[in-house]
Amino acid sequence: MDTVAPHRNRGAGNPGVSALAGALFTATQQRVLGLLFGQPDRSFFVNEIIALAGSGHGAVQRELARLAGSGLAVVSRVGNRKYYRANPDSPLFHEICGIVRKTVGIEEIVRGALEPLSGELTLALLHGSVARQTDTASSDIDLLLVSDRLTLEDVYAALAPAENLLGRRIGPTLYTAEEFGRRRAAGAGFLTRVLESRPVVLAGSLDGQ
């Protein structure tokens, strides 16, 4: 019997996740909150936020001013540069981090990047420190993918925009379905450690593997 720990499927295949984000936040708010509260231990330079958010300069500046004015973000200066980060002392900090993770955070950004490949993917798992929610600003984002048609070059090309947006390296591991099944049946090594670590399912299902 397979002893893999229960996995989590947070929003995979559910269009309501992105719809919920749209109901809660404007497009600019989604991008700014996704940066600040999706990576709450990281400080962002103003121009960096504007570039990564892909929204107008004025719209981003207004959103940052609102967040700082409400105490949801803190501002610091290094020389002539102004930096923003999520305020961990805000009474809403943990709640907003949770909402962002479920709607516009790392998981949804990576899931969106993989969407064009969905027809070729049998399974996509987010694992490692991001899945455990113990990641830091320097942590890689670890993925395990199963496909009989995709190459790593295909995967890297699809993930490049997400890497640029998040400012973090995304490290994919790619298996064919046969290789995944064989390694899983062997019950040892890297794959078993991944499956026992409660990965987040971004596409497909472990039950069908």
Please report, in tens digits, the pLDDT of each residue of the chain (209 residues total): 333 344 444 444 343 445 677 788 888 998 899 999 988 989 999 999 998 887 889 999 999 999 999 999 999 999 999 999 999 999 999 999 988 877 778 887 898 899 999 999 999 999 998 888 788 878 899 999 999 999 999 999 999 988 987 888 999 999 999 999 999 999 879 999 999 998 999 999 887 55
Q: Which domain holds residue 79?
A: 17-99
What is the domain-level CATH number for residue 187?
3.30.460.10
Residue 155 tokens, joined: 């995967």
- Boundary-marking domain end, from 64, 82, 99: 99
**Residue 56, beta-bridge partner list:** none
Please check whether residue 185 lies inside any domain of the structure: yes
Please check whether residue 36 lies inside any domain of the structure: yes
Phi, psi (deg, nearest 5) at residue 78:
-130, 105
- Give yes or no: residues 116 and 93 share one domain: no
Q: Are the CB atoms for 163 and 113 separated by under 8 Å?
A: no
- Give yes or no: residues 120 and 202 share one domain: yes
pTM over 0.75: no
